[in-house]
Structure 1
Amino acid sequence: MTFNWQGVFPALTTKFTPDDTLDLPAFDHNLEAQIEAGVDGIILGGSLGEASTLTHEEKESLVKHAVGKVGGKIPVILNISEASTKDGIKVAESAADLGASGLMLLPPMRYKADDRETVAFFKAIAQSTSLPIMIYNNPVDYKIETTPDMFEELLELDNIQAVKESTREVTNVTRLRNRFGDRLKILCGVDTLAVEELLMGADGWVAGLVCAFPRETVAIYRLIKAGRLEEARQIFRWFLPLLELDLHPKLVQYIKLAEVHTGIGTERVRAPRLPLVGEERNRVEGIIKTGLANRPNLPDYLYL
């Protein structure tokens, strides 16, 4: 499946049953809401998808199931967050065999690779597959930054095509655009910065709160791209307290709780994560309930 790295790509949460197996019916319920809202692709097994707790077999099951479920309507992207180059290549090969449309690559996990090692890691995986690739650049959480000089080397490979820009540095959109033009597609990876980065020319948005609020997320993206900025700003101002839930180490629990309140998800997480309790739960639920009480009416954005 050929596609452009443009639009809204939810980093989907992984649903679990009470006995800690994959809950595919619950996954389907959320996925259907995403497709109906107009998302442009989905990402499986990312940080929000609890990648670090998923087995290789579970990732394969998710990819196979999602590919069958979407039926070619939108691309299915699998995140690779492995500790070794060998395992990263194995996951890439498996994703292609199962019908995935593309890959998102994190740098090596559990080892702070230097620039040379990080580039070699990304290149080795990219050279093992024909699938299009988006590099996940998040030095805040993963302590390794993919710099413009590193991208200069990586873009020698045709299938490295995009970056999930999560440096928290809005000027990186312009910096990368000035250096690479349209050769490198740029997708905002930080929910709270999406409007600013889209206005500066980002091609898309890898979103988190979209898991609970797909229509609002897609509406903001499409309104901005259509030049209807005031309408997008008004929705974003309402959305911001909810989007800030994406910036916490417990973003998985926070966003899954939001999915419960919007009726398109479950709260179950995989240990060592635990569901929210006490004051923290009350605080997060207060943000969610306030947002729902003031949820805006959306324009007819699907045809923009």
Structure 2
Amino acid sequence: MSMIWNGVMPAVTTQFTANDELDLEMFKIHIKAQLDAGVHGIVLGGTLGEASTLTDEERRILTREAVKFVNGKVPVLMNIAEQTTKAAINLAKVAQEDGAKGLMMLPPMRYKASDEEVVEYFKAVANSTSLPIMIYNNPVDYKIEVTLDMFEELIDACPNIQAVKESTRDTTNITRIKNRFGNRLAILTGVDTLALESLLIGADGWVAGLVDAFPAETVAIYELQKAGRIKEAIEIYRWFMPLLELDINPKLVQYIKLASVYTKIGSEYVRAPRLVLRGKERKKITKIIEDAIAIRPTLPEYKNLNN
């Protein structure tokens, strides 16, 4: 049940072929780019992973392939976003069998559960597994907020609930969490456009999106701010912001996948009903990406700054 909840953990994209099958070779290229940049974990099956479109067998294949390829360098986590407690418990069991070292969990999907129901849902899944758990708190997109009182009940009852992916869009919540729980609950920011601010006021890490196209720049921001080299981190972050804003759009999957084509670490194929970008929208996003790449900064040496 050991997990170090810090650093950059990419919510990786799922790679598909033009025939809508898993592209495991491109998936490995994508994961290798993340490892080479120095990420601290890999999160499978999130929104960017198009989890809701994957079959159970595809999720198992991705978990096993990622675990095998990563080979213990960093922990591999599986996201749980299910409609029923029974299905969530089963997915946690399967993820553990397939080698995942941790779970990220959303509240129940589709049904707007009460606070009591959400707490009981998390408790049931946590008590079914020994894997450490990070709760994904994103009331903006998923309409259910996990409050501090709910977290209090959860972490008192379930020692494997250890972290929160903080995506409320309210950075003051980071200070509230720290004031209430100290180090009992690790915080990983989940909003790219608030990442540096969140890290500077106490977030322990960053579950990132644009890392899927620009892993080195993402990890550099984290490592530089951690080492106190704030000015350098800010300079990279300001360059990055037009790209980071692609993460806070309903079409974030298509936008980020297109960016990864430009950096040669991913393809843009998505699973229907999503469609590859077309027309004016494609031109608009392409311009944002190309403009950023044209002035892409030269990064300082950012690895091993804190050893």
Interval of TM-score (by shorter of Structure 1 and Structure 2): over 0.9
The residue that corresponds to 1:221 in the other structure is: 222
Question: What amino acid sits opposite 1:282 in the alignment?
Answer: K
Offset at 1:163?
0.2
Runs of 4+ in 1 over 6 A off after TM superposition: none
Count of matched residue positions in the alignment of Structure 1 and Structure 2 = 304
Q: For 1:12, what is the secondary structure of its paired residue?
A: coil
Question: What amino acid sits opposite 2:175 in the alignment?
Answer: T
Post-superposition Cα deviations, 1:122-144, rounded to whole Å, max 9, x if no partner, equal 11000000000000000000000
Work out whether 1:302 is the aligned partner of 2:286.
no
Offset at 1:303?
1.7
Q: For 2:130, what is the secondary structure of its paired residue?
A: coil
Offset at 1:67?
0.4
User: In structure 2, what is the Cα distance between the partners aligned to 1:70 and 1:276?
Assistant: 31
Q: Where do 5+ consecutive residues of structure 2 fail to align?
A: none
Offset at 1:152?
0.5
Work out whether 1:34 is the aligned partner of 2:34.
yes
Offset at 1:2?
3.3
The share of aligned pairs that are identical, in percent, is 65
User: In structure 2, what is the Cα distance between the partners aligned to 1:5 and 1:138?
Assistant: 18
Q: For 1:254, what is the secondary structure of its paired residue?
A: helix
Question: What amino acid sits opposite 2:193 in the alignment?
Answer: T
The residue that corresponds to 2:294 in the other structure is: 293
Q: For 2:61, what is the secondary structure of its paired residue?
A: helix
Question: What amino acid sits opposite 1:272 in the alignment?
Answer: P
The residue that corresponds to 2:44 in the other structure is: 44
Q: Is the 8 A contact 2:96 2:131 kept in 1?
A: yes
Alignment of 1:200-211 (within 5 A): 200-211=201-212
Post-superposition Cα deviations, 1:154-186, rounded to whole Å, max 9, x if no partner, equal 102110000000000000000000000000000
Alignment of 1:134-173 (within 5 A): 134-156=134-156, 157-173=158-174
Work out whether 1:248 is the aligned partner of 2:277.
no
The residue that corresponds to 2:113 in the other structure is: 113
Post-superposition Cα deviations, 1:218-268, rounded to whole Å, max 9, x if no partner, equal 000000000000000000000000000000000000000000011110000
- Normalised TM-score (structure 2): 0.98
- Normalised TM-score (structure 1): 0.99
RMSD: 0.7
Q: For 1:8, what is the secondary structure of its paired residue?
A: strand
Q: For 1:269, what is the secondary structure of its paired residue?
A: coil
The residue that corresponds to 1:17 in the other structure is: 17
Work out whether 1:180 is the aligned partner of 2:185.
no
Post-superposition Cα deviations, 1:187-237, rounded to whole Å, max 9, x if no partner, equal 000000001100001000000000000000000000000000000000000
Offset at 1:17?
1.1
Offset at 1:52?
0.8
